[in-house]
Amino acid sequence: MNRETEQHRINDVIREIDYKKNKLYSKATELKESIIGLRKNFWEDVTVNLDEPDDVIETQASLKQQAELLSERERFHGKVGEELKTLNKLKDSPYFGRIDFIENPGNEEEQIYIGIASLMDHNEENFLIYDWRAPISSLYYDYSPGKAQYETMQGTITGEMTLKRQFIIRHGLIEGMFDTGVTIGDQLLQQALGNNASTAMKSIVATIQKEQNKIIRNERSSLLIVQGVAGSGKTSAVLQRIAYLMYRFREKLTANNLLLFSPNPLFSSYISNVLPELGETNINQTTLLDFLKKGIENDIRIESPFEQIEYTLTKMDSKDYAVRLKNIDFKSRLDFKHMLDEYISRLKYGGIRFKNLTFRKQILISKEQIRDYFYSLDQEIAIPNRMELVSKWLLKEIYKQQKAEKKKDWVTEKIELLDKEDYMKAYYKSQKEDEDDPDREEKFLRSEVVNKYFSPIKRRVKQLEFVHILATYRELFTKGEFEEKPEDWKEISVHTEANLSHKFLTWEDAAPYSYFKDRLLGNHTNQSVRHLFIDEVQDYSAFQFAYIKYIFPYTRMTILGDVNQGIYTYATTANPLIPEELEKNQERITLTKSYRSTKQIVEFTKYFAPGKELIEPFEREGEKPKLITLSNKADIAETLSANVKELLDKGYETIAIICKTLQESTMIYHLLQHKISVKQINEQTYSFEKGLLVLPVYLAKGIEFDAVIIPNASKQHYALESDRTLFYTACSRAMHMLVMMTEDEPCTFIEQAARETFELL
């Protein structure tokens, strides 16, 4: 079939799309009018009669029926709207692939066209387009022409693929078309990646590689671990995995059953358009920091992971620096979790701290009374279950106190301050009480006043706020005695206790504190999450990951990372994130090919990549990375401005000046803000925009830019071995152009690269 014939088919498909759109528009208009009519005449169509009990039941049934009818119409109208959006996307680019397949034994050859959604013909009998997630579409990703097979609910279908063809279609016209038998997507990727980075990651459904397809369609593993080099398509694959799972299990899974942990809010904005492009709604996204904040008391300040790394990179002269590193290292280990578990076991028999329950500056129930009641309960009962029993006991005791308070003078004073509306409410409600009681109105008002003032106390009791979690956690460091503890335990304890006394949790203490709180009060996490996805998992400590496993014990997980980009180096020293014995039903997939950067950038960066993993460059040519030596520090602003203008002239739309720290990025921003249009990115930045951006490397995780400038690549600035991951991460963000600048001798990592892999200016 030649190009002209393929274009004719596209024209026919577009006519079918227009026909279906017109039908849907008519349906949508009718539905809209029907909904407006239902809303307008809602009460006219409801039988309202409240005279007899049977009439009340009939009225309720009539109301429910009318409300359900309206709700169903509105839901259907929303579904029609979604279908129209999908058809509009298909009209622009109906499909991206075609395979011809002969199913065994010797059936007729079938032409299968693959796009972002399925489309049936006029009579709803045959598929004009198959959804990329349909079982038959896996042929396109997994096989070259020749023998091929795919899995269905009924079993394995075998046969022969006689043709694999790829299309680039824009605005209904073929811009590119080729038959291929080689690695899927290479030619397409050359064109897709040759374009500039957009402000939101593009869907690359058409270019899924075979190993990425294993990630996307994996339904077996309870823990899927993906190690992928920078630019290997990890994030793209996991987002397509989410879209696939929502399509495959659409009767059972909704967006609320899936949760994605992203590295920072900027990354969440960066990927926000991907799932809608793939035909699905966005799922819930959060960062580990935001997730932990929800469970920790509001009056406790939590250090962010970015504040932690900024501290480790800039506060070397601080007197507490050495002990802080020891604190980070120990509390990132599972050893600390074992210590906490031991401490919690002891708390079954004594040591939990409680708070007084006070009312009008008087102690209602003392912390000692609460403690004595808690420890009078059977020690075999789990701590969280005992807490619930204490809560019920406290509510009964409070009710007794509440009754006693009704007769007191302060209640009379409060009644006198009530407004007219409260009196009217009391009058009408009290009419239902004992008619022979002349004081019934006053009794009602007293009850209302006392109940209002006791409500906050009862709410706190129900939320178990009578337990002093912080004080109990703090005693681990002031009174805790353990046989197995680190050499520096005394130093760590003094350091931690000082922070806790100021109601401050360092980042390394946040997950342990949350775990400790959950073990005492019970785990109240949303159990509806059935699939959890974690990106940049190499930046999680072993304790943090163990805590996530504790919170989501029955949830399937897909975790993605790159050991080369583990910038929180102190967090996982000699401490594997996922011990081999942690998960029986786990699968590991490794992606070694980098599609993001040009061949020249990958060839340069692979010399100093921290891990031992193989990195294969993608065959996309570009300029060699440039190393500019400044004659003096004063030249930096002019040199940066000149290089940015040059990159803009080349058509690059997203240019990042990537610094080692926030401190450095603030200094660069102030140097440039009056010379050129520039935006500084910090951890509060929630939207990704085109243009010139200046940011610290730890906020660039997971994001790619047309061009990257590293303003200080000197040996003095990137001096430690632990800086290797930072420098590698910064360099590997670049798609087309990498520029490094130094006033002094270049850093060791540049010197490790072969001299012919970069250009010296």
**pLDDT at position 182, please?**
44
* Residues 595 and 572 sit within 8 Å (Cβ to Cβ): no
Report the pLDDT value the prediction gives residue 575, as an integer from 0 to 100: 52
> If you search the block for the tokens 């950038």, which residue do you land on?
601
Residue 460, pLDDT score: 92
Residue in the structure block whose two tokens are 């001096």: 719
- Coarse DSSP helix, strand, coil percentages of the chain, rounded to the nearest 5 percent: 50, 20, 35
DSSP letter assigned to residue 746: B
pLDDT band per the 50, 70, 90 thresholds, residue 740: very high
Is it the case that residue 533 has pLDDT exceeding 90? yes
Cβ 457 vs Cβ 357: under 8 Å: yes
Strand partners, 110: 101
User: For residues 605 and 731, is the Cβ–Cβ distance under 8 A?
Assistant: yes
What is the average pLDDT value for the chain, to the nearest integer?
A: 82
Q: Is 549 annotated as a binding residue?
A: no
Q: Which top CATH class is 599-760?
A: alpha beta
Helices and strands (H, E) in the chain, number of each type: 26, 26
Provide mean pLDDT across the span 87-98: 87
Q: Is 231 annotated as a binding residue?
A: yes
Question: Are the C-beta atoms of 604 and 237 separated by less than 8 Å?
Answer: no
The pLDDT of residue 134 = 87
Q: Please give the structure tokens belonging to residue 720.
A: 């430690």
3-class secondary-structure state, position 271: coil
Q: What are phi and psi of 563, to 5 degrees?
A: -60, -25
Give every CB contact of residue 152 below 8 A, 6+ residues apart in sequence. Answer: 135, 136
Q: Is 561 annotated as a binding residue?
A: no
233 is annotated as contributing to ligand binding = yes
Alpha-carbon separation of residue 619 from 480, 609, 756 (angstroms): 59, 19, 18
234 is in an annotated binding site: yes
pLDDT in tens, 574-610: 555 565 555 567 888 888 888 888 999 999 998 998 8
pLDDT tens by residue, 686-721: 777 889 999 999 898 878 899 999 999 999 999 988
pLDDT of the residue at 375: 96
DSSP 151-180: EETTEEEEEEEEEEEEEEEETTEEEEEEE-
The contacts of residue 737 (CB under 8 Å, 6+ apart) are: 622, 623, 625, 626, 647, 650, 652, 706, 707, 708
Token output for 237? 């694959």
User: pLDDT digits over 255-277, tens only?
Assistant: 889 999 988 877 777 676 666 66
Read off the pLDDT of each residue in 65-94 and give the average, rounded to a whole number. 71
pLDDT at position 641, please?
92
- Which tokens in the block code for residue 643? 């290089």
Residue 731: the pLDDT is: 94
Over its C-alpha atoms, the chain yields an Rg (Å, rounded) of 32
Structure confidence at residue 524 (pLDDT): 66
Residues of the chain with CATH 3.40.50.300: 599-760
Report yes or no: 718 and 750 within 8 Å, Cβ to Cβ.
no
56 belongs to an annotated ligand binding site: no
Q: What are the tens digits of pLDDT across the range 476-490?
A: 999 878 888 889 999
712-741 average pLDDT score: 92
pLDDT tens digits for range 359-398: 888 899 999 999 999 999 999 999 999 999 999 999 999 9
